[in-house]
Amino acid sequence: MEGVTGSIPVPPTIRAVLFHHADMSERNDAPPDRTPSGQCAASGRIARRFRGRWRQGYVRGKLRHDPSFDAIAVALLDRSRTRPLLDLGCGMGLLGHWLRVRGWTGTYIGIDHDVRKLRAGRAAARGLTPALTLRTGSLLALPPALGSFRGHVVLLDVLHYLTRDAQSALLRRCALCLEDGDVLLLRGVLRDGSWRYGVTRAEEWLLASTGWMRSGPRHVPSAAELRGWLEELDLQVALRPLWGHTPFNSWLAVARRGIR
């Protein structure tokens, strides 16, 4: 799947399908409201931290309709509220925003190479307590300062933008961060023969065509391939669909160290 460069305008209706998948001094001491209306209000509150109607609409839609943010929040909150988290390919740091709303207070470090998205995410996170750290960096060579990072790792819709070799190298690197009880949470598209996979390929083509993504997918792993890589790293893997009400072929892998 090759990316297509260039930029074309996207009508709002198409945007809503494409982009499924407060004030600045806000604190996070309100108890999280997990009812659908509470989740809806939280999406709106986070969206209003961003500048511009287009971006606000994108953030609101993404947080409302993509089940991955809350699935990851649940997985982390089940373990601890404070263990550090590395969000690789964090984009605007939406996961960090969502986790704060859900009452998670651990150190959040997001890494991405798209400075535009990072800038928007940092501006939106200004004043949040505890702060979110959004750093510029490439997943092909993580910043050396992260060598000592230990904690949970998230790869949310990013792995398929790397080549096959880069994916397995990154997963090896992620596994080094995990201590007992930590998890690698990987949400992404898997290659199979389903209609969902076809729709996801079409979406990716549009994302690259509109310039929202700097490049298109490089390699989409199959379930067996992903599971094989993780098991070779001595991780136990649970894999389940996570497409919610979207038409995309999104899966969640939760990988943790086996009992040593």
Ligand X SMILES: C[S@@+](CC[C@H](N)C(=O)[O-])C[C@H]1O[C@@H](n2cnc3c(N)ncnc32)[C@H](O)[C@@H]1O
* Interface region with ligand X, contact rule CB under 6 A, candidates 12-20, 133-141, 192-200, 242-250: 133-141
Residue 44 C-beta: closest distance to ligand X, Å: 17
Residue 208 C-beta: closest distance to ligand X, Å: 11
- How far is CA 7 from its chain centroid? 24
Among 94, 99, 186, 220, binds ligand X (CB under 6 A): 94
Position 86 contacts ligand X (CB under 6 A):
no
Position 58 contacts ligand X (CB under 6 A):
no
Give the contacts of 56 (CB within 8 A, at least 6 positions apart). Answer: 47, 48, 50
Residue 202 C-beta: closest distance to ligand X, Å: 15
- Specify whether the CB–CB gap between 125 and 138 falls below 8 A: no
Site for ligand X in 19-48 (CB under 6 A): none
* CB closer to ligand X, 211 vs 241: 211
Q: Which of 192, 217, 248, 203 is nearest to 89 (CA)?
A: 217
Q: Which of 230, 154, 220 is nearest to 193 (CA)?
A: 220
* Interface region with ligand X, contact rule CB under 6 A, candidates 25-33, 74-82, 136-144, 234-242: 136-144
Among 120, 125, 142, 156, binds ligand X (CB under 6 A): 156
- Specify whether the CB–CB gap between 101 and 45 falls below 8 A: yes
Position 160 contacts ligand X (CB under 6 A):
no
End-to-end CA distance of the chain: 39
Give the contacts of 138 (CB within 8 A, at least 6 positions apart). Answer: 113
CB atoms within 10 A of CB 119: 13
Among 140, 176, 224, 238, binds ligand X (CB under 6 A): 140
* Interface region with ligand X, contact rule CB under 6 A, candidates 22-30, 51-59, 86-94, 233-241: 86-94
* Interface region with ligand X, contact rule CB under 6 A, candidates 7-15, 52-60, 72-80, 88-96: 88-96
Give the contacts of 197 (CB within 8 A, at least 6 positions apart). Answer: 189, 190, 191, 220, 249
Token pair recorded at residue 237: 């893997």
Position 90 contacts ligand X (CB under 6 A):
yes
Among 47, 101, 109, 112, binds ligand X (CB under 6 A): 112
- How far is CA 132 from its chain centroid? 15
| Contacting residues toward ligand X, per CB under 6 A | 89-91, 94, 112-114, 117, 138-140, 156-158, 161-162, 214
